[in-house]
Amino acid sequence: MSEAFVEIGHFQARKAGQGADGDVFLSRKTEEGRIISVLSDGLGSGVKAGVLATLTATMAAEFIAQDIPLRRAAGIIMRTLPVCKVRKISYATFSIADIERSGEVRIIEYDNPPYALIRQGCLVEPVKSELEVRRSIRAGAPSPTALMRYSEFQARPGDRLLFFSDGAVQSGMGTRSRPLGWGLSALQDFVLRRLADEPGLSARALARSVVRAALANDAYSAKDDISCGVAYFREPRRLLLMTGPSVDRGRDPEMAHEFDRFAGRRIVAGGTTATILARELGLPVKLNLKEPDRSVPPPSEMPGAELVTEGIITLGRVAELLESPAELEASKPNPATRIVELLLDSDIIDFVVGTKINEAHQDPTMPVALEIRRNIVRRIASILESRHLKQTRLRFI
């Protein structure tokens, strides 16, 4: 597992008619490289459910990041969460995964559907132990205990972990074809078929497939919040995004050499950058005017590049879409959305940023540190690291 990368992805759909998600999927990476992911399902739906799910997920991630043992952290959460007076259950359920850099995985679950471990195209049943946690003592009498499931195992390259909320497993309930809902077994079969058709499917794409299938079961009007989170242990996918000319034209051959020798997918953002690479490498660049969406400048085509786009405007739109996943899903395919998809489908992303100031975008008398292109790239890299747990490297030339 030393060379494997853990890709974390999730997808959600809120209950029809609600203005806020009642489920929360939260992930963070510690300084030591551990990954902590939490799926919490708030009781009911809407704002109140979302607040309780957020509280639960945030507490869990913080406790585990502070090296509080998983079982103890779960106990603290259970004693903190309020209990519904009528139904006598907690206001939020949760699944917590603590993933070490070595690939050691520890998972504790409370009232969520069981997670799925997919290994070599097959469903693996991990050994789970039951853990009873006593709630807080009120009015001199002990409150009921909560029953949790705990498991630990060593992940292998190619493994996938899938976490679901009730809305996914119970989708379609009451319909003629699925009177009792989709069911965990049928959901797992769907995942296995999906991976058989496309073995290299990314974590985010797999989560999206599950949620969209669940939505289809509900006739595209979700009866409950639907969430799916996926952890994918894989060889890292590398991406190079090169944008902007160097401040020194004498470094153009260096840029071209780095682009040419890069072992991974490549994006060129900027007409001047594309012109430099085409000149140095003897490659043709062809403008593509067939793109249906004109909200951003059209792309071009160049051998060796997955995508060639305009620079500042397109990258600015990329940053906006990364900050607003809902807007990304609603956007028509265009150069900016395609860059976002490539970024999210990659694990280690190298940014090579030219530092020559474009006088068309900014007053050249302003300090170099305020240069727009560099700020946008830093913004994109920060979002990728904090929200999507990607590994990014920036180099300015």
* pLDDT at site 97: 95
Which pLDDT tens digit goes with each residue over 313-332? Answer: 899 999 999 998 888 888 88
Which pLDDT tens digit goes with each residue over 97-133? Answer: 999 999 999 999 998 999 999 999 999 999 999 888 7
Which pLDDT tens digit goes with each residue over 262-272? Answer: 999 999 999 99
| Three-state secondary-structure class, residue 228 | strand
| Three-state secondary-structure class, residue 2 | coil
Residue type, 233: F
* pLDDT at site 84: 61
- Cα gap 30→15, rounded to integer Å: 32
Q: What is the CA radius of gyration of the chain?
A: 24
Contact 13, 23 (CB under 8 A): no
Average pLDDT along the chain: 88
Alpha-carbon 232 to chain mean position? 11
pLDDT surpassing 70 at residue 143? no
- Cα gap 35→25, rounded to integer Å: 13
- Cα gap 347→215, rounded to integer Å: 29
CATH 3.60.40.10 domain locations along the chain = 5-234
Which pLDDT tens digit goes with each residue over 43-70? Answer: 888 898 889 899 999 999 999 888 888 8
Q: Compare 29 and 247 and report the one with higher pLDDT.
A: 29
* pLDDT at site 256: 93
Q: Which fold has domain 5-234?
A: Phosphatase 2c; domain 1 (3.60.40)
Alpha-carbon 237 to chain mean position? 15
Contact 307, 338 (CB under 8 A): yes
Neighbours of 301 (CB within 10 A): 13
3, HSE (Cβ side, Cα atoms, 13 Å):
3
| Three-state secondary-structure class, residue 35 | strand
